[in-house]
Amino acid sequence: PKTPASSNVAPRIPPYKRLLGKLKEVYKVFGKKTQLTLAEKILYSHLDNVEESLLSNTHNGKEVRGNATLKLKPDRVAMQDASAQMALLQFMSCGLPSTAVPTSIHCDHMIVGERGADVDLPASITGNKEVFDFLESAAKKYGIEFWPPGAGIIHQTVLENYAAPGLMMLGTDSHTPNAGGLGAIAIGVGGADAVDAMVDAPWELKAPRVLGVKLEGQLSGWAAPKDIIMMLAGLLTVRGGTGFILEYFGPGVDTLSCTGMSTVCNMGEYNRAEVGATTSIFPFTESMKPYLRSTHRLDLLQKASSYAAIGGKGPQLLRADPEAVYDEVVTIDLSSLEPHINGPFTPDLSTPLSQFKNAVKVNEWPESFGAGLIGSCTNSSYQDMTRAEDLVKQASAAGLEPKADFFITPGSEQIRATLARDSTLETFSSAGGIVLANACGPCIGQWKRTDGVSKGETNAIFSSYNRNFKGRNDGNPATMNFLASPEIVTAMSYAGSTTFNPLTDTIPTPSGDPFQFSPPSGLDLPSAGFAQGNPNFAPTPGIPSPDHPVIISPSSDRLAVLEPFAPFPAGELEGLRVLYKVKGQCTTDTISAAGPWLKYKGHLPNISANTLIGAVNAETGDTNVAYDHFDLAESGEPPKSGIPQLAEKWKNQGKEWMVVAESNYGEGSAREHAALQPRYLGGRVILAKSFARIHETNLKKQGIVPLVFENESDYETVRAGDVVSTVGLFDMLKNGGKGDVSLKVGKGEQVIKVKHTISKDQAGFILAGSALNLLAKKEGS
């Protein structure tokens, strides 16, 4: 049975009473006079054990930010269809009957954009049927709300249904911070982290620093909320925004719409390996109230308002303390902010519109562009779309048509149906615009371009999306994607020229008269409220059905049930073979490449065929060329193969192996495949000069031992083809992470000292074979 999108089948109101109680404990640890930022209040009120976390790695609760390890209990999890596959497979392996916190799945990343929603959506559903069937069946079994293909993009759907002031949620997508526009702490994570929350294990985060962004004045004319974050992206790159939560405050905050604040937060994700994950947040403001009302959440509005009103001498949950101290403050005057255009190839190359024409000339960027794309999870609000509509109406009245192809992506069925009811989509279609499905489409490479641009051909496009890395939209690394507000993208699409400035320049009309746009105007919210849309796009209720079968075809090449990893052997590791010695940078992309491999995210054996294929051989300088020193040919030479092929060969022979690497091994992302794959292929130890923190944790969760050279020069000692045995490792694990460990290399003549950061909990994961094994064991006992 389907339920209306606004139904309250799982709790959608944060547990304010409990959070306030926790916040009081926080003040007890810090002292009553402490002044906290809003981000700290929401994060710390979600601590599993307040005292234990805030005093960890700190001097009696001093300098918590940047030091303390927070063990958090989020309220909710949201997953998109690509990353949900492995997260669900891992969740299934621990044998729980349902998720511990309300969870939702959103089918958005696998829908292609080409000719329009009516044609594209059915074709994509057919092409990905087995994945959608799996996700839906697992959702039904475990009580997860399942939003089918066409229902909308994860972040827009979350904003309309789940985001709430004071909420803390995890999302398996980088732009999860979008929900900060409604006062939530929402953090983008990898699937394994989401599983922590789903199984009720505390989720760890190094306490972030807080960067205050003070907004003054008020936007006007062409300037849009998008321009705040576009300008800030450029500024923070220069100043270094690493490892902060961005918290907005100041009088300008009260002038912004709720959806505008979400756009700002959407692009405020500064995922950095150093801190793990950070986010952006706005305080509970007056403009959030009409948004909650028009999205049919009166109960939440009432509760949040009553908690926001609780003040006096007690702590205030939903806003920062008046004297809250930020680690740094950036001030932006909205009144003088001008539109910005960011790109190409990176979202933080920021150019004010007035200087863009010159930048095009100086950098020899293309002077014409082929497509303008508006909408997506970042910019498809009623405000965005009605302001773009106003510009289209102005141009149509002057007899103009867009010169570039013009695509519109609604972020959800709710916003699509509302824009259809209010004739906004009709305005776009009549002008030649193509309305795509309520899904990611061209934003994530699911775009079949039909304008004849061939791969490798330099060209430009404009979009109101949030990222513009090479090949991101159409798979063509030579396509330059310039990001701008929907208003600027729409107006420029009528000129088809990258040097056109809609604020000052004119376009010739068919009658010969020059036409100049007036500044756009629109409505923050629909006066008749939001329409519910097609009931077929409503979610399934989050009620577990333990007998519901999970659909995975045994012959599928895209999905495979995860088999639990074997526990750690009862003793020291002997005869561990060195598979490969990596030279230089080794990111999670090096270890588990993306692109065409994404198709196999739910099939560990198949995706493992990409393991370390980007790694450079320290001894030969080749990439992905490994040698089997244990299977010498008649000539005495070791046969060579790809790294995953050799790993698999050894796996089949029952031989475990290790990798030697340099600094910051596993930097780049939280991708759990980079830990799962080596483990699946028989990897037992990674020995590096240093690790990226998140990846190091992921390795331990999957039962791989990350070890660090005590003397970096010992990197030279170990070579591919060496045999290594451990000394003290097993005892250290048995002693909960305590004790010295060293490695004997070769026949034992060389002993190298190693360090580790394995905690008591993590030692338990490794001994059990993985964190999920340990959990399954506890559940079963």
Q: How far is the CB of 464 from ligand SF4 (least distance, A)?
A: 11
Closest to ligand SF4 by CB, 135 or 153: 153
Q: Residue 645 is encoded by which pair of tokens?
A: 């092929």
Compute the least distance from the CB of residue 175 to ligand SF4, in Å.
5
What is the C-alpha separation between 256 and 132, in angstroms, rounded? 37
Q: What are the backbone angles phi and psi of residue 562, rounded to the nearest 5°?
A: -80, 125
By CB under 6 A, which span of 124-132, 297-305, 438-446, 612-620 interacts with ligand SF4? Answer: 438-446
| Separation CA 771–CA 767 (nearest Å) | 9
Residue entry with tokens 């001994």: 767
Least distance from ligand SF4 to the Cβ atom of residue 154, Å: 6
Which run of H or E residues covers position 583? strand 576-583
* C-alpha span between 81 and 712 (Å, rounded): 41
Nearer to ligand SF4, 159 or 301 (CB): 159
Comparing CB distances to ligand SF4, the nearer of 233 and 377 is 377
Sheet holding 76-80, edge to edge: 145-147, 103-106, 76-80, 168-171, 185-188
φ, ψ for residue 733 (rounded to 5)?
-65, -45
DSSP state of 63: S
Q: Is the peptide bond before 344 cis (omega within 30 degrees of 0)?
A: yes
Q: What is the C-alpha separation between 109 and 90, in angstroms, rounded?
A: 20
Q: Which is nearer to ligand SF4, 444 or 643 (CB)?
A: 444
Tokens of 397: 């009245």
Is 467 noted as a catalytic residue in this protein?
yes
Residue type at 438 in one-letter notation: N
Q: Which of 145, 173, 628, 667 binds ligand SF4 (CB under 6 A)?
A: 173
Closer of 412 and 610 to ligand SF4 (Cβ):
412
Phi, psi of 335 (to 5 degrees): -65, -30
What b/e readout covers 696-720, taking b as 16+ CB neighbours within 10 angstroms?
Answer: bbbbbbbbbbbbbbeeeebbebbeb
Near ligand SF4 by CB under 6 A, which window of 151-159, 385-393, 586-594, 728-736? 151-159
| Interface with ligand SF4 in residues 277-296 (CB under 6 A) | none
**Does residue 340 carry a catalytic annotation?**
no
Annotated catalytic residue, options 76, 83, 93, 108 = 108
Given 173, 384, 422, 628, the catalytic residue: 173
Q: Return the ∠ at Cα 580 (arms to 578 and 581), rounded to 5°.
A: 100
Shortest Å, Cβ 410 to ligand SF4: 11
Query: Quick check: 175 binds ligand SF4 (CB under 6 A)?
Result: yes
Side chain identity, residue 61:
G
Count of residues binding ligand SF4 (CB under 6 A)?
14
Q: Is 173 a catalytic residue?
A: yes
Residues 6+ apart with CB under 8 A from 213: 232, 246, 247, 248, 249, 250, 329, 330, 331, 332
By CB under 6 A, is residue 153 in contact with ligand SF4? yes
Name, in order, each residue with C-beta under 8 angstroms of 375's C-beta and a sequence gap of 6 or more: 384, 385, 407, 408, 409, 410, 411, 436, 464, 486
Q: Verify binding: residue 440, ligand SF4, rule CB under 6 A.
A: yes
User: Closest CB to ligand SF4 among 669 and 773?
Assistant: 669
Kindly tell me which of 481 and 664 has the beta carbon lying closer to ligand SF4.
Answer: 481
Tokens 């939209």: give the residue: 473
Stretch that binds ligand SF4, among 97-105, 147-155, 311-319, 422-430 (CB under 6 A): 147-155
Among 24-32, 119-127, 228-236, 439-447, the segment contacting ligand SF4 (CB under 6 A): 439-447
With contacts defined by CB under 6 A, name the span among 150-158, 414-422, 551-559, 720-728 that binds ligand SF4.
150-158
8 A C-beta contact, residue 181 and residue 269: no
Tokens of 247: 């918290």
Establish if 444 lies at the interface with ligand SF4 (CB under 6 A).
yes
Identify which range of 148-156, 312-320, 520-528, 552-560 contacts ligand SF4 by CB under 6 A. Answer: 148-156
Asked if 108 is an active-site residue, the reply is yes
At residue 737, φ and ψ (nearest 5 deg) are 95, 0
CB of 173 to ligand SF4, least distance (A): 5
> Per-residue string for binding with ligand SF4, 360-399, x by CB under 6 A?
----------------xx----------------------
Tell me how crowded residue 104 is: count the other CB atoms within 10 A of its CB: 27
CB of residue 706 vs ligand SF4: minimum separation in angstroms? 30
| Residue in 281, 294, 432, 441 with CA at minimum distance from that of residue 377 | 441
Minimum CB–partner distance for residue 78 and ligand SF4 (Å): 11
CB of 174 to ligand SF4, least distance (A): 7
Nearest distance from C-beta of residue 382 to ligand SF4, angstroms: 17
Alpha-helical (H) ranges within 199-350 are 225-239, 258-266, 288-294, 298-309
Residue 631: count of CB within 10 angstroms of its CB: 12
Strand partners, 170: 77, 187
**Which of the following is catalytic: 175, 472, 671, 673?**
671
Give the nearer residue to ligand SF4 in terms of CB position, either 175 or 701: 175
Instruction: Name, in order, each residue with C-beta under 8 angstroms of 77's C-beta and a sequence gap of 6 or more.
Output: 99, 101, 102, 103, 104, 169, 170, 171, 172, 194, 197, 198
Say if residue 658 is exposed, middle or buried (CB neighbours under 10 Å; 0-12, 13-18, 19+): buried
Give me the least distance between CB of 668 and ligand SF4, in Å please.
17
Q: Between 175 and 209, whose beta carbon lies closer to ligand SF4?
A: 175
Figure out which of the listed residues 82, 273, 443, 732 binds ligand SF4, where binding follows CB under 6 A.
Answer: 443
- Minimum CB separation of residue 440 from ligand SF4 in Å reads 3
Q: Does 154 bind ligand SF4 (CB under 6 A)?
A: yes
Q: How far is the CB of 307 from ligand SF4 (least distance, A)?
A: 30
Q: Pseudo-torsion of CA 673, 677, 680, 684, nearest 10°?
A: -110
Measured CA to CA in angstroms, residue 669 lies from 81, 188, 470, 695 at distances of 18, 10, 18, 8
Among residues 41, 71, 155, 583, the one that binds ligand SF4 under rule CB under 6 A? 155
Q: Please provide the DSSP assignment of 606-659 as one string.
A: HHGGGBTTTPEETTT--BS-EE-TTS--TTSPPPEE-HHHHHHHHHHTT--EEE
The residue from 412, 608, 669, 690 that is catalytic is 669
Catalytic residue from among 272, 467, 472, 603: 467
* Shortest spacing between CB 22 and ligand SF4, in angstroms: 31
Residues 465-484 that bind ligand SF4 (CB under 6 A): 465-466
40, 75, 81, 108: which one binds ligand SF4 (CB under 6 A): 108
Pairing of strands 168-171, 185-188: parallel
Centroid of chain to Cα 191: 10
Upper half-sphere CA count for residue 83 (Cβ side, 13 Å): 25
Interface with ligand SF4 includes 656 (CB under 6 A)? no
Catalytic residue ranges: 108-109, 173, 467, 669, 671
- Residues of this chain that interact with ligand SF4 (CB under 6 A) are 108-109, 153-155, 173, 175, 376-377, 440, 443-444, 465-466
